[in-house]
Structure 1
Amino acid sequence: MQQKVISNYEAAKELYAQHGIDVEEVLSRLEKIKISMHCWQGDDVRGFLNKDQDLTGGISVTGNYPGAATTPEQLRADLEKAFSLIPGKHKVNLHAIYADTDEKVELDQIEPKHFQKWVDWSKEQGLGLDFNPTCFSHEKSKDGFTLSHSDPEIRQFWIDHCKASRKIGAYFGEQLGQTCVTNVWVPDGYKDVPVDRLAPRQRLKDALDEVFAEELNPAHNLDAIESKLFGLGSEAYVVGSHEFYMGYGIQNNKLICLDAGHFHPTEVISNKLSSLSLFTDGILLHVSRPMRWDSDHVVTMDDELIEIGRELVRGDLLDKTHIGLDFFDASINRVAAWVIGTRNTIKALLRGMLDPIEALKKAELEGDYTTRLALTEEFKSYPFGAIWDFYCAKLGVPVREEWLADVKTYENEVLLKR
């Protein structure tokens, strides 16, 4: 380890210790946190089951940077490269369309065996897996409806797909010894104002009841449900609104997914965490950067990301929150996108842990808002970067921007030859 990194760390650790912050304890805690890195950044949400299907469900990927993965082997190699540049051991979030099989199989017929290569690879890499049914980019979703479809046969197809997905999630959890979060999101909605808002929501509720009817071991699989504000093609009405899923999740003890891009432009998910935590056993986050609503830009160290990290730490919510990423940018190197977004998310958690939380809470409780504001502002320039550099070096990944050279080499030797 570079002597400069160590000396900077020791000096920074001493500064934080003056406020009662045990940096070594912070880093030990940080290392236990797993970020669920989404596989779909690596191939622009194409998957391997229905490669020729156009993206639907309000999803759009822009850019044509070379090197997108076109096979499961390529995608796993790209994920390995990204994880080699990110401190800690984490998880991979798979969609159903990423099945690795030579068998021609429909979504309502998928089984754990179609993902066995992912399980074997995850065991080798020491990673966990999360899962999602893919209720978009399919012939039976082209009119914009799935679990709330008015056609019983089409609705049943998607119910069966979600049931199959839960069993795959449970298999992942059992095999890997890490609980799998299986998250249900559907794009259902109308482009223009509907006459009947209630009936589709009643069908969605009934469909979800059937999907979740079978009890699965929560040590292996946890169910989550995800809302959306609107989508391309469902601008006027989305069946699975935040209010719908918040009610359903609380009533049925499901994880409620908060996606950073699925709310009004002036809403932030950081402000929702404390409220939701009082009424649920767990929360699922999809951390993204909604530059223009749900535009799914690569996560940067912006104010909202920092605030999410702070809220999770200050509210002691890390043990009950599952943190995943959700962005897809085809205008830049896809491996670099993973590295930037995941490292930033971990950095935000570190920054939250390095705040003088007890002193801030004490000042607030005593009405000393001057101290609260002063400490908050001064700590913004405290040397958390020195702690981060040491953490990366300690866990054997590049310090600061050194990782970029590795990505550029990988691009020249691997990605550009595809």
Structure 2
Amino acid sequence: MSNQTILESYNLAKSAYAKLGVDTDKVLEQLNNLSISLHCWQTDDVGGFETKATSMGGGIQVTGNYPGKANSIEEMRADLEKVLSLLPGKHKLNLHAIYGEFNGEMVDRDQIEVKHFQGWIDWAKKNNVGIDFNASCFSHPYAEDGFTLSSKDPKIRNFWIEHVKRCREISNEIGKQLGEPCIHNTWIPDGSKDTCVDRLGHRVLLKEALDEILETKYDTANMKDAVESKLFGIGSESMVVGSYDFYLGYAIKNNTLICLDNGHFHPTEQVGDKISSVLQFVDEILLHMTRGVRWDSDHVVTLNDESLLIAQEIVRSGAMDKTYVGLDFFDASINRIGAYISGCRSARKAFLFALLEPTELLKSYEDKGENFERMFLLEQAKALPWGAVWDYYCLKQSTSLDSDVIEVVQDYEKTHLLHRGEVLV
């Protein structure tokens, strides 16, 4: 498609939206201010680069053996740079603690330091991206019995407390060096496969551990804390210590962000519906956008009803500046770079669609009880030429159109990914 065709299509779309009171130029400015945090673990199937190999655990399960997995930090960074070159808009990199540069040294997680992530900070500066960070409380011998911060074994619990303390310190330094807040997210796999009698005991220990971890206060210009709940996990089907009720209460009381991962709830729950409620009681939220298929399967984000509702509720609530958006999926059954690009573009498209919604007109219909008009306009919006606005946005951002992405990804697979050898299941 020629640039002239894209511009002509955009001008027609601009006129159509203007009739409904929507300024598409303003929308694209808002869309471009949205920073999406790319999860590094899509490139290597949540393996990390610790010297001592540990078995994957803590409810983490990646399926598939598509060739091209990143086997080193150099390969991961090459993949990330390729992904960034094919994405419009602002981005951050979301790092887990297991992705430090340990240079062949065995550094246990209660000993990690800023120096192990300085290379990532320098890389982020070079590529003009921010960084978010996560404690890695899984795939470790001290996580094998199913409990970390809520473990009744003081040795295990104190190990993980120290790990998260260090992760917060690293996050603070990341934010200080990069000049924007690093969101540090705490998720733990703690729970019971079968009936747990002492749920209270584990939750008391988790609260005490978090209280100790958060004793050190950091400037929120550098780092912000988030806590992430889960309904169930592999090996914790009957009880998860860090439930939604637990963490929502903790976030409200302790002024942290609450992380809403839309794969961490019952399939019939709508995370989008929770947003306007949660924002009454917490200042900001962290989103982990994913796609659960029957369970927390972390499928690649698509432009479906769930992702649309999440974006729509953030926009309708006027909460774009109160929301941090990250991705969280891992699929080893397809080209990993393609999965990245498709998922991230779909997430941003959801926000574009939401921003293009004639919200004020819809609210006026609703307030007057004109529900047919509201319903019809919502349906009409689905057929409006938002795709032309997306193409124009990609053109302005000097990145590939959707129609060109497949060919570019296939070429990268041939020239880079297929030379990395076989990936073992």
Structures share a fold, TM > 0.5?
Answer: yes
How far apart are the structure 2 equivalents of 1:190 and 1:104? 30
Give 2:142's match in structure 1, choosing from 131, 140, 143.
140
Alignment-derived partner of residue 201 in structure 1 = 203
How far apart are the structure 1 equivalents of 2:30 and 2:260? 24
User: Which runs of 5 or more residues in structure 1 are unaligned?
Assistant: none
Matches for 1:42-57 after TM superposition, within 5 Å: 42-49=43-50, 52-57=53-58
Is 1:217 aligned to 2:219, yes or no?
A: yes
Give 2:191's match in structure 1, choosing from 179, 182, 189.
189
Matches for 1:390-401 after TM superposition, within 5 Å: 390-401=392-403
How far apart are the structure 1 equivalents of 2:51 and 2:353? 41
Is 1:155 aligned to 2:146, yes or no?
A: no
Matches for 1:3-402 after TM superposition, within 5 Å: 3-49=4-50, 52-102=53-103, 103-402=105-404
- Secondary structure at the aligned position of 1:272 is classed as helix
- Secondary structure at the aligned position of 2:273 is classed as coil
TM-score for both structures, normalised by structure 1: 0.99
Partner amino acid, structure 2, of 1:74:
E
How far apart are the structure 1 equivalents of 2:115 and 2:402? 40
Give 1:413's match in structure 2, choosing from 409, 412, 415.
415
Per-residue displacement from partner, 1:239-264 (whole Å, max 9, x unpaired)?
A: 10000001111000010011111111
- Secondary structure at the aligned position of 1:90 is classed as strand
User: How far 1:51 sits from its partner (Å)?
Assistant: 6.1
Shift in alpha-carbon separation, 1:50–1:367, aligned structure 2, 3 A: farther
Per-residue displacement from partner, 1:364-395 (whole Å, max 9, x unpaired)?
A: 11111111111111111000000000000110
8 Å CA contact 1:62, 1:331 repeated in 2: yes
TM-score for both structures, normalised by structure 2: 0.97
Partner amino acid, structure 2, of 1:107:
R
User: How far 1:50 sits from its partner (Å)?
Assistant: 5.1
How far apart are the structure 2 equivalents of 1:152 and 1:32? 45
- Secondary structure at the aligned position of 1:205 is classed as helix
How far apart are the structure 1 equivalents of 2:256 and 2:64? 36
- Secondary structure at the aligned position of 1:299 is classed as coil
How far apart are the structure 1 equivalents of 2:403 and 2:339? 13
Shift in alpha-carbon separation, 1:206–1:50, aligned structure 2, 3 A: farther
How far apart are the structure 2 equivalents of 1:43 and 1:399? 26
8 Å CA contact 1:50, 1:97 repeated in 2: no
Per-residue displacement from partner, 1:155-210 (whole Å, max 9, x unpaired)?
A: 00000000000011111100111110000000001111011110000000000001
8 Å CA contact 1:37, 1:91 repeated in 2: yes
- Secondary structure at the aligned position of 1:143 is classed as coil
Partner amino acid, structure 2, of 1:123:
K
- Secondary structure at the aligned position of 1:270 is classed as helix
How far apart are the structure 2 equivalents of 1:150 and 1:368? 58
Partner amino acid, structure 1, of 2:5:
K
How far apart are the structure 2 equivalents of 1:346 and 1:236? 35
How far apart are the structure 1 equivalents of 2:320 and 2:56? 34
Per-residue displacement from partner, 1:308-344 (whole Å, max 9, x unpaired)?
A: 1111111111100110000000000001111001000
Alignment-derived partner of residue 423 in structure 2 = none
8 Å CA contact 2:51, 2:102 repeated in 1: no
Shift in alpha-carbon separation, 1:292–1:50, aligned structure 2, 3 A: farther
How far apart are the structure 1 equivalents of 2:179 and 2:249? 31
8 Å CA contact 1:191, 1:234 repeated in 2: yes
Partner amino acid, structure 1, of 2:41:
W
8 Å CA contact 1:185, 1:226 repeated in 2: yes
Shift in alpha-carbon separation, 1:215–1:378, aligned structure 2, 3 A: same
8 Å CA contact 2:150, 2:209 repeated in 1: yes
8 Å CA contact 2:302, 2:343 repeated in 1: yes
- Secondary structure at the aligned position of 2:235 is classed as coil
How far apart are the structure 2 equivalents of 1:236 and 1:35? 33
Partner amino acid, structure 1, of 2:186:
V
8 Å CA contact 2:51, 2:106 repeated in 1: no
User: Which runs of 5 or more residues in structure 2 are unaligned?
Assistant: 421-425
- Secondary structure at the aligned position of 1:44 is classed as coil
- Secondary structure at the aligned position of 1:182 is classed as strand
8 Å CA contact 1:179, 1:219 repeated in 2: yes
Q: Which moved more, 1:129-138 or 1:368-377?
A: 368-377
User: How far 1:48 sits from its partner (Å)?
Assistant: 0.2
